Amino acid sequence: MTQLSSRTSADNYFENFEVGQVIAHARGKTMTEMDNVLLTNMVMNTAQGHFNEHLMNRSSGIPGFDTRIVFGGINFSLVIGLAAQDTGEQVLEELGMDKIRLKTPVHHGDTLYAFTEVLEKVEGDRSDAGIIRFKHFGINQEDKLVYEGERTVLMKRRSTWGDR
């Protein structure tokens, strides 16, 4: 039987990250109407801007807000999800999310891509793990910044958790 660690990426343990490192994550995801409507309903967000196209077409006159917009919670969750293969596989605990900023509206049909910068790497209280603070960025198909936020995690050490 193969070791469980052989089922995850080989280069995303605590030791593999360096402060200042920037990661361009491999995948993008196009935001569909189903993504917005289903998930926004599931979290009971009833804001008209997510559901009422007629109202949005008539109301604001503000560029980007003249059609339905995707709920921001979906946008930042998607960016974190796109980054997870590189920054989440060896996480033991999510310690916090901070400085979440939604910068540009996302619409149905927009494609999001994720990038991550390693901001900080410190020793943890545990010998088998360390703490890493990431800054995640979401960019749309026009290279406009749609999301930025920080995420702090307790990350496994290869020396304890990796194959020997």
Query: What are the tens digits of pLDDT across the range 117-143?
Result: 999 999 989 999 999 999 999 999 999
In this predicted model, what pLDDT tens digit does every residue of 61-117 receive, in sequence order?
A: 677 788 889 999 999 999 999 999 999 999 999 999 999 999 999 999 999 999 999
Work out the average pLDDT over 137-162. 94
- Angstrom distances, CA of residue 68 to CA of 3, 63, 64, 72: 47, 12, 9, 12
Rounded to whole angstroms, the Cα distance separating 108 from 70 reads 7
Alpha carbon of residue 91 to chain centroid: 14
pLDDT grade for 47, boundaries at 50, 70 and 90:
confident
Residue 8 has pLDDT above 80, yes or no: no
pTM: 0.88
On whether the CB atoms of residues 108 and 50 are closer than 8 A, the answer is no
Q: Which residue, among 89, 73, 98, has the nearest Cα to 23 in the 3D structure?
A: 89
Question: What pLDDT score was predicted for residue 159?
Answer: 83
Name the band, by pLDDT with cuts 50, 70 and 90, for residue 146: very high
Given a contact cutoff of 8 angstroms between Cβ atoms, the answer to whether 31 and 109 are in contact is: yes
pLDDT of residue 1: 40
Question: Is pLDDT of 7 > 80?
Answer: no
